[in-house]
Structure 1
Amino acid sequence: MAGESTGSSRPHVPSRRELRAQKEAAQRGQVSVPVESSISAAQPAPHVPVIEEYEVAATNPALSVSSSSVQNPEQEFSSSALHATAESGPQSAAEPTHTASEPDSTTETTAPFSRDNALPDGGKKKPRRGKSAVATVVILLLVALLAAGVYYALTRFVFSGDSKPSDYEGAGTTSVTVEIPEGATGTQIADALVAKDVVATKQAFINVLAVNPEGTNIQPGTYELKLKMSANAALAALLDTANRVDVGITIPEGFRLSQLQERLKTRGGYTEAEVQAAFANPEAIGLPVEANGNAEGWIAPGTYQQKPDEPVESFVKSMIQRRIEQLDSLSVPSEQRQALLIKASILEREVNIDKYLPKVARVIENRLDPERGKEVLNKLQMDSTVAYAAGRTSGIPTADELKIDSPYNTYLHAGLPPTPIAFPGTGAIKAVLNPEAGNWLYFVSVNLNTGETVFVDTYDQFKEAKNQLKQFCESNPESC
């Protein structure tokens, strides 16, 4: 027929089915292309449907055939070229085609296609950082736990020198005395017991304390215990007051030196000569220089444990040392301590209710003030100082006592008395350091049973308050 040429053969263009078969073969590592796929340079470039080209590229990007290689009549389209494309990716028309068996040593080749390392753009997949980060955190946590376990094992077993706290058995053997200091913690008590070989280890006693709530009731003092007691037996002995061999002597706030000396004899068992000799030796009892050799006011109120056969000097020294530590904690300069204790001792003897302490402290300061105190001639006029001069510990001074010619009679003498008149407590000391603001010059306790006190600025107001006190004494003579 016209227009037909039976002697020529048309170039073979792979069909869609053949291209799909080639793609599957490439995925299995086997690429097979018919020999007839060669295109002669003398023949026009065949038209390859674009849809089939992109379908292959979309299905398997590594098997894409560039349009430039097909449209170039000098580019040989052979099975080897397609195989090279499958392994190395598409090549430009200007680059020569190489077979897989004869790679060009000067050309960089890519790794064979696989689903694990290839992406549509020919690059490699990014690592999955989410799972990697989680794995890292888990590993770090495990390492931390392991380190903590090792540390615990080292401190618990290696550094302690024992795999578990050792403990004695039974109630012990020979008697021994152990002193438990005031305010001692459980660890400090355990240390004291270990030092005297009462318990085997500190940890054994601490373990017993941890499971026994009664352990908090151990009182300071000197105890007669046994050597080599079990921790349980030691705790039971410390909780039994029958094992206390010391004597507790309590010094109340407002006590005087003469009252303390009497208690040392009646409760402490010391003789009159021992007591007098002790207070006559300020250095032996640790009395500071600013006390001028008189221990009045320099002993801190509280309870003290007298050790068996303890010398009186040592016992009194512990009382004075507690006062010094108290003043140190309040940052009171040494040159101000004597005057502070004198004022605080007057407060202690004058005031029965703590809320009045700062007000009475202000009255003292106002009366001692050169200007404000002119109205009273800078005289304190405190009944407590007159009672001290008269040798009494309570009651209102009589008319005769108010005339006693003594440096402690503040009705006659201006300023402070020469020494404290009692052992003041912490509240009175703090009130002197921080007196309440006010212009008061007078105060009167109008009810000696309740301690109710009136503070006034003028003498006329003071006389009215004195009348209230007079009425109280007429109704309550036993209190006055």
Structure 2
Amino acid sequence: MSEDSSRQRRGESSGDDNESFHGLFSPTEAERRAGVRGLRIEQEHLTPEQARRRYARRRQVLVSATIVFVIAFVVSASILGPRMGLFEVKDYHGDGNGKNVSITVSQGDSNASVGQRLEQKGVIANSEKFVDVMEDKASNKFIQPGTFELQEHMSSESAMNSLIGSGSAKHYVAISQNQRKDETFDALAKGTGISVDEFKALDNDPGQFGVPDKFTSLEGFLHPGEYRFDADASAKDVVQEMVDKTKKDLKNAGVKGDDRIFHVVTVASILEFEGTPKDYKGVAGAIENRIDNPDGETQGFLQSDATVAYGLGKKTYQISDEQKQDASNGYNTFANKGLPQGPIGSPASNAIKAAAHPEKNDYYYWVTVNLDTGETKFAKTYDEHQKNVDEYDQWCSEHEGKCV
């Protein structure tokens, strides 16, 4: 019998495909005699529960391996990413997110230093990108010194355009309350680069700015506040802007006429030195009582230390009896009745409103008994006032160096 016929017979006798499959790998009779045992294939039979458990184990192993891979990737990326600059925002897009940011550029600042300042303020994403843009698109232009209004999250090109655009540079100047004209001129000169002498020259002719003739200088009209003047603004432009703000405050307070304007501005300037904003109206009422009643408790004398100090060219709370008796000082309201010969500073809006609309009261005296808190006490008579002065003196003795 041939080998083929033998295999065929084994396949025909099985009667099913599985047996035929195994028969294909069974050795022939001759192979058995030669010791060949053939290939043994076993079929594993699993119950549904065993199959489910095996699938679950394999799935768990796959999930665990995936988690390990993800963690390893994140750790590697967090270490290598910043070094390679993978997550660094190179530039923003557009003209900003609407949140304003002030940037000041000083004389001699380089593009790199400006870029670093812009990045620190959140205006741009990357200072190096900003420098590249400046070199590529504005190589022949320079950022002028001044204060600029930009926005957060601007593209480097948009920030560059804002900084080198025509008329974009501003000079920032802050004028505080209680600041006299000479101090204001110094601050303006420092902030704008304009000579202080140019400002002082304008002080000789306040009428050119629409200031009433009763005012012999610009004192009282150099409105305090924050300013951003155009980089090419002249000294006259600067002063006019400040005067216009004071004139606007007077108009809003309903103050009209040269005499009334002189009265209100002068009283308002005194309020800035004699009280705190919450007491402005009360002090203004007491001042009016003194001026309107020359035969009253104070016989028409204002008796303000602040006005005497202004006439002396000093800033002090300590005025001697001799200084109070010097009538040649046109700002001495101890020796001269009524208002001083002019304002002693430039008042802000709240002081102008209080002077224009004083509180109706019966007080003739006031004194700030605590210079730290600004607590002010009022009195109708001199005896009452003297008790308040004693309280002030006690406070000064407990706070050495404060009452100078």
Q: Distance in 2 between matches of 1:257 and 1:406?
A: 18
- What percent of counterpart residues are identical? 28
What TM-score comes out, normalization by structure 2 length?
A: 0.59
Moved beyond 6 Å, runs of 4+: 224-227, 238-244
Alignment CA distance shift 1:399-1:267 (3 Å): farther
Could you tell me how far 1:437 is from its partner in structure 2?
2.6
Could you tell me how far 1:221 is from its partner in structure 2?
10
Alignment partner of 1:387 is 2:270:
no
Alignment CA distance shift 1:234-1:408 (3 Å): farther
Q: How does 1:321-360 map to 2 (within 5 A)?
A: 321-335=244-258, 336-351=260-275, 353-360=276-283
Q: Is the 8 A contact 1:256 1:422 kept in 2?
A: yes
Alignment CA distance shift 1:234-1:438 (3 Å): farther
Q: Is the 8 A contact 1:362 1:438 kept in 2?
A: yes
Structure with bigger gyration radius: 1
Q: Distance in 2 between matches of 1:270 and 1:472?
A: 43
Amino acid at match of 1:330: A
What TM-score comes out, normalization by structure 1 length?
A: 0.50
Q: Is the 8 A contact 2:223 2:242 kept in 1?
A: yes
Alignment CA distance shift 1:235-1:368 (3 Å): farther
Deviations 1:45-95 (A, max 9, x none): xxxxxxxxxxxxxxxxxxxxxxxxxxxxxxxxxxxxxxxxxxxxxxxxxxx
Partner of 1:478, secondary structure, is coil
Any unmatched runs of 5+ in structure 1? 1-170, 172-206
Q: Distance in 1 between matches of 2:370 and 2:101?
A: 41
Q: Distance in 1 between matches of 2:155 and 2:253?
A: 41
Alignment partner of 1:252 is 2:176:
yes
Partner of 2:248, secondary structure, is helix
Deviations 1:129-188 (A, max 9, x none): xxxxxxxxxxxxxxxxxxxxxxxxxxxxxxxxxxxxxxxxxx9xxxxxxxxxxxxxxxxx
Q: Distance in 2 between matches of 1:478 and 1:440?
A: 30
Alignment CA distance shift 1:321-1:236 (3 Å): same
Matched residue, 2:320: 398
Residue 391 of structure 2: which of 452, 457, 468 is its match?
A: 468
Larger RCO, structures 1/2 (Cα 8 Å, 6+ apart):
2
Q: Distance in 1 between matches of 2:196 and 2:347?
A: 25
Alignment CA distance shift 1:423-1:241 (3 Å): farther
Matched residue, 1:217: 100
Matched residue, 1:477: 400
Deviations 1:80-129 (A, max 9, x none): xxxxxxxxxxxxxxxxxxxxxxxxxxxxxxxxxxxxxxxxxxxxxxxxxx
Q: Is the 8 A contact 1:264 1:270 kept in 2?
A: yes
Q: Distance in 2 between matches of 1:456 and 1:471?
A: 18
Q: Distance in 2 between matches of 1:283 and 1:441?
A: 35
Q: Distance in 2 between matches of 1:431 and 1:374?
A: 23
Amino acid at match of 1:217: N
Q: Is the 8 A contact 1:290 1:334 kept in 2?
A: no
Q: How does 1:219-368 map to 2 (within 5 A)?
A: 236-237=159-160, 245-284=169-208, 286-335=209-258, 336-351=260-275, 353-368=276-291
Matched residue, 2:24: none
Deviations 1:6-25 (A, max 9, x none): xxxxxxxxxxxxxxxxxxxx
Q: Is the 8 A contact 1:254 1:425 kept in 2?
A: no
Amino acid at match of 1:418: Q
Deviations 1:20-51 (A, max 9, x none): xxxxxxxxxxxxxxxxxxxxxxxxxxxxxxxx
Matched residue, 1:459: 382
Alignment CA distance shift 1:308-1:334 (3 Å): same
Could you tell me how far 1:416 is from its partner in structure 2?
0.6
Matched residue, 2:43: none
Amino acid at match of 2:234: P
Could you tell me how far 1:279 is from its partner in structure 2?
1.9
Q: Distance in 1 between matches of 2:360 and 2:338?
A: 21
Any unmatched runs of 5+ in structure 2? 1-90, 106-113, 115-133, 139-153
Q: Is the 8 A contact 2:162 2:168 kept in 1?
A: no
Could you tell me how far 1:325 is from its partner in structure 2?
1.9
